[in-house]
Amino acid sequence: MILNSFSLEGKTALVTGAAYGIGLAIARAFAEAGARIAFNCSRPETMERAQQAYRELGIDAKGYLCDVTDENAVKAMVADIEATLGGVDILVNNAGIIKRIPMHEMAAEEFRKVVDVDLVAPFICAKAVIPGMIKKGHGKIINICSMMSEVGRETVSAYAAAKGGLKMLTRNICSEYGEHNIQCNGIGPGYIATEQTAPLRERQADGSRHPFDQFIIAKTPAARWGTPEDLMGPAVFLASDASNFVNGHVLYVDGGILAYIGKQPK
Ligand code: NAP
Ligand code: GCO
């Protein structure tokens, strides 16, 4: 049965930054597909909130307070997952931040921080799980990329540099470890309604939509923002045996933005 190849029964998944937003939806999808779930986040208050969310969803997830930029902490988390949940079969590098600052006003330290979380940390996490995947003879690594892996816009230079780099890290992990039956792919979400994008959707004082909100709706053939749930099916596909010959690919889940030239002026 073809549908069996989408099952994650017996697999252990680590989803980074899965306290809320896209990561939580992906963890939920994996749990529904049968996987054991480990996740992490960096702040104690978010962990409390996450534990409650997983409880309410009926998911027995193991949460770690772990900053993905801290290599020793990531190694300890992966070692504990190996000892308690049987090793990571699926890694989703989801944890990410953005700083919206015009480049000529951005401090190098702020730029480095974004690159550290959005690009260096996926390297750290992948590095930590790859030896275990080689031993197991299989592995899936999914890097959460972005529209900004392909296109730029004002104020997001560090984010675009990091997400563009993440696309190439994806291709390189595929190139370097494909022979070990490890598939590394990316998901490039379009504009998704989460806390990260909340400032772009804030209502104006007169109750009208934020100009950026209107811009995204006009720019998206689907004529709406994405939801974290829109990423669930694509993530299960890339985590499952159904995608065993898909490697080094970035799957854009963007309601068609990248395919569209934009609305013609009236
Ligand atoms: P979000 O709502 O801001 O959630 C970010 C998650 O990452 C939280 O769980 C957060 O927990 C965690 N996190 C942040 N820094 C961390 C660190 N140093 N160590 C560990 N965990 C950390 O973001 P989102 O919108 O769901 O986005 C998730 C991913 O998708 C990001 O990589 C983002 O760039 C990417 N993305 C988002 C969109 C979009 O439109 N929303 C589109 C394309 C790509 P703590 O706060 O506790 O650290
Ligand atoms: C921004 C947004 C984006 C999205 C996303 C698009 O300010 O332009 O936050 O970068 O979050 O990554 O795919």
What CATH number does the domain containing 24 carry?
Answer: 3.40.50.720
Beta bridge partners of 64: 40
Distance CA 203, CA 257 (A): 23
For 103, the token pair is 């480049």
Residue 63 β-bridge partners: 39
Would residue 230 count as lying in a domain? Answer: yes
pLDDT in tens, 32-45: 999 999 999 999 99
The per-residue pLDDT for range 117-140, each reduced to its tens digit, is: 999 999 999 999 999 999 999 999
Q: Which long-range contacts (CB under 8 A, 24 or more apart) does 130-138 make?
A: 130/173, 130/177, 130/182, 132/78, 132/82, 132/87, 132/88, 133/88, 133/89, 133/177, 133/180, 133/182, 134/177, 134/180, 134/182, 135/87, 136/87, 136/89, 137/180, 137/181, 138/89, 138/181, 138/182
Tell me whether residue 266 is in a domain.
no
Q: 56 lies in a domain?
A: yes
What is the structure's pLDDT at 266? 86
pTM above 0.85, yes or no: yes
In a domain, 206, yes or no: no
Q: Which ligand is located closest to the Cα atom of residue 212?
A: 2
Per-residue model confidence as pLDDT tens for the chain (266 residues): 999 999 999 999 999 999 999 999 999 999 999 999 999 999 999 999 999 999 999 999 999 999 999 999 999 999 999 999 999 999 999 999 999 999 999 999 999 999 999 999 999 999 999 999 999 999 999 999 999 999 999 999 999 999 999 999 999 999 999 999 999 999 999 999 999 999 999 999 999 999 999 999 999 999 999 999 999 999 999 999 999 999 999 999 999 999 999 988 88
How remote is the CA of residue 27 from the centroid of ligand 1, in Å?
13
Hey, which residues are catalytic here? 159
Q: Which residues, listed in sequence order, are joined to residue 185 by a DSSP beta bridge?
A: 142
What average pLDDT is seen over the chain? Answer: 98
Residues with CB under 6 A from ligand 2: 98, 100, 146-148, 153, 156, 159, 189-191, 196-197
Whole-number Å distance between alpha carbons of 65 and 86: 19
The DSSP secondary structure of the chain, one letter per residue, reads: -GGGGG--TT-EEEEET-SSHHHHHHHHHHHHTT-EEEEEES-HHHHHHHHHHHHHHT--PEEEE--TT-HHHHHHHHHHHHHHH---SEEEE---------GGG--HHHHHHHHIIIIIHHHHHHHHHHHHHHHHT-EEEEEE--GGGT---TT-HHHHHHHHHHHHHHHHHHHHHGGGTEEEEEEEE-SB-SGGGGGGTPPPTTSPPPHHHHHHHHH-TT-S-B-GGGGHHHHHHHHSGGGTT--S-EEEESTTGGG---PPP-
The single-letter code of the amino acid at 31 is A
Residue 213 lies in a domain: no
Distance (Å) from CA 146 to ligand 2 centroid: 7
- Closest ligand to C-alpha of residue 44 is 1
Looking at residue 265, its pLDDT comes to: 86
Of residues 89, 253, 55, 93, the one with CA closest to residue 181 = 89
Compute how many other C-beta atoms are within 10 angstroms of the C-beta atom of residue 100: 14
Which of 93, 98, 143 gets mutated to test ligand 2 (max ligand atoms within 8 A of its CB)?
98
215 within domain boundaries:
no
Q: Which residues line ligand 1 (CB under 6 A)?
A: 16-17, 19-23, 40-43, 46, 67-69, 94-97, 117, 144, 146, 189, 191-192, 194-197
- As for how many domains the chain has, the answer is 1
Locate the ligand 1 atom nearest the alpha carbon of residue 68 and give its number. 19
Atom number of ligand 1 nearest to Cα 43: 47
Residue 208: inside a domain: no
**Domain range enclosing 55:** 2-192+226-259
In a domain, 242, yes or no: yes
Tell me the ligand closest to 113's alpha carbon: 1
